[in-house]
Amino acid sequence: MTFDVLDASIIAVIMLAVIIVGTRGFKYSRSLVNYFLAGKELGAIALAFSIMATYFSAASFLGGGGATYLYNLGFGAWLTAWHIVGVVLMWILVAERLFRYASKTNIISIPDFIERRYESRAAKAVSAIVMMFLFTLYLTSVYKGGAIIIATFLNTSFEVGLMLLTIPVLVYIGLGGLRAAVLNNLLLGSLMLLAAFLAFGYIMSAVGGPLEGIKSLQEMTIMDKMPGSLWLKLNGAGPSRAMEIDMVPYLIMGVTFSISMAQVALPSLLMQFYAAKNVKVIDGGRLLGPVLVAAYAIAVFSLGAFCHVILDHQLTVSEVARLMKDPDWVIPKTVSILAPSGVRGLILAAPVAASMSTLAVTLIVLSATLTRDVVQSLKPKVSEEKLVALARVVPIAFAVISLLLTLIQEGIIVEIVAAAFGIIFVCFLGPITIGLYWRRATKFGAIASMISGLVIGLYWHLFLYKATYIHTVFPALAASLLSFFLVSLLTKKPSSKALEPLG
């Protein structure tokens, strides 16, 4: 793809816009509550769009959109279905209950919740360490997604793309905190939906619609050896080793479940419920939030399979093989072929903007964790002014660490997200989501759940996942929940003071 001035101008305008919004949020972010929780003044529309834009990024557009180029259409169908289930459960089971708890206790961060719910600074420390470690790893997928798009349509290197993605984010969250991130998410979330619908429209038009596209896919041969009909079966196309041992359906279920169900226990999403203005905001978001997630998922998550019909006859067998190995490049390559100048820039700039929103809120969550839950806990007499100044600087450190990890990360986006989200999900499902309901949960149960989920999850992902293709989320979830319930039942009940805010 050659450099296009109009396409480049579009992304430049978006980057400039998010920085301007950041400067406007500066005067509202001079206390910890204002910086981290936007003054607890978010309305339903702002909250729903912010959570959607935080959850989805270029990683979802490229990883989710391109995954069915490697996997089959069943992957896209299950990914969409689990996303809808996950977002509905988050808004129904967690949102209001967590908001009411935060309102009663004036907590700011997720580790704050862990400490208050379980009356344990040790549990708080464990949760802070787990969050900082896992979210730093997760951000590599966000960086990769945004940088791939920038590199594609600016015709530059991946490394330059990383820098162009990172700098505006650090500027606007350093200035405006969560308020700036949420204001930007209204714009960026809308652009994401527009890009999703445009990409869906161009790709479906190019293949003659979904039914004609399925027919064309069924009749073609991929890389001169695999029938296109494999992309129409749940037990069909997938990673070669998974196909050999007949584990594709189980792999698909694990990856899609892991990514999607993480919504019910993902700290970067749940912390934003603290910032709602009142309970009516939760009621309004409960309808809008799932609609936004469902609309995006339906439009994007099956596009990769149809890109075989568009791309493969223009590429050599070896080029198709390279795309099968790294399908994150499939959607930008397809869009660059189909869409005209300007529209192409808009479609590809929107996921870049989405990556900015995800990076911003995640870095704010990490900043809150380190500033509030580590520094302030160790030095409670530090002035709030100094803590806010530290909170503005901390994201730079996390951003740099994640950026360096991105340069050495070789996995495809969907696998990175599934592993990171899956382990985060299993670590916090018990202590946060179940802990909001189950009054018998104890601090020792919470600590055991987080540690066992992290250790089993990392070990399985590093040493057993590619050998068995049983996804990390299942053994880690079993270990985490067993530890949570068993240890809680064997240890002392929480005090009535700890349980009082649960209602």
Q: How do the domains of the chain map onto residue ranges?
A: 5-414
Element (H, E) at 367: helix 343-370
CB 144 within 8 A of CB 417: no
Cα–Cα distance, 374 to 379 (Å, whole number): 8
pLDDT at 412: 67
Residue type, 307: C
**Tell me, what's the pLDDT at 117?**
97
Whole-angstrom Cα distance, residue 479 to residue 79?
Answer: 24
Q: What is the pLDDT along the chain (503 residues), one digit of tens a residue?
A: 555 788 878 877 877 777 776 666 555 556 666 667 777 888 999 899 989 988 887 678 888 889 999 999 999 999 999 999 999 999 999 999 999 999 999 998 899 999 999 999 999 999 999 998 888 888 887 788 778 777 776 778 888 888 888 887 777 666 656 566 666 677 778 888 999 999 999 999 999 999 999 999 999 999 989 999 999 998 889 888 899 999 999 999 999 999 999 999 999 899 999 989 999 999 999 999 999 999 999 999 999 999 999 999 999 999 999 999 888 889 988 998 999 988 988 888 877 777 777 777 788 788 888 887 888 888 888 888 888 788 778 888 888 888 888 887 666 667 777 788 899 999 999 999 999 999 999 999 999 999 999 999 999 998 999 889 999 999 999 999 999 999 999 999 999 999 999 98
Closest CA to 334 of 202, 224, 227: 202
CATH architecture for the domain at 5-414: Up-down Bundle (1.20)
Asked if residue 232 lies in contact with residue 336, where contact means CB atoms within 8 angstroms, the answer is no
Q: Which helix (H) or strand (E) holds 248?
A: helix 248-261
The residues facing 344 across adjacent strands are none
| Beta bridge partners of residue 221, listed in sequence order | 227
3-state secondary structure 290-354: HHHHHHHHHHHCCHHHHHHHHHHHHCCHHHHHHHHHCHHHHHHHHHHHHCCCCHHHHHHHHHHHH
pTM beyond 0.85 = yes
Q: Report the distance separating Cα 378 and Cα 370, nearest Å.
A: 11
Cα–Cα nearest to 57, from 345, 350, 259: 350
227 backbone dihedrals φ, ψ, rounded to 5°: -70, 140
Distance (Å, whole) CA 452 – CA 118: 18
Query: What is residue 364's three-state secondary structure?
Result: helix
Q: Hey, what are 420's tokens?
A: 């990171």
d(CA 16, CA 167): 11
C-alpha distances out from residue 316 to 311, 319, 338, Å:
10, 5, 19
Burial class (CB in 10 A: 0-12, 13-18, 19+), 201: middle
Q: Sign (positive/negative) of CA torsion 377, 380, 386, 387?
A: positive
Instruction: Tell which residue, 301, 315, 305, 497, has the closest CA to residue 414.
Output: 301
Q: Which two tokens stand for residue 422?
A: 């899956």
Give the Cα separation of 253 and 249 in Å (integer).
6
Helix (H, G, I), strand (E, B) or coil at 221: strand
Give me the amino acid identity at 225: K
**Could you tell me if 126 and 38 are in contact, meaning their C-beta atoms sit under 8 angstroms apart?**
no
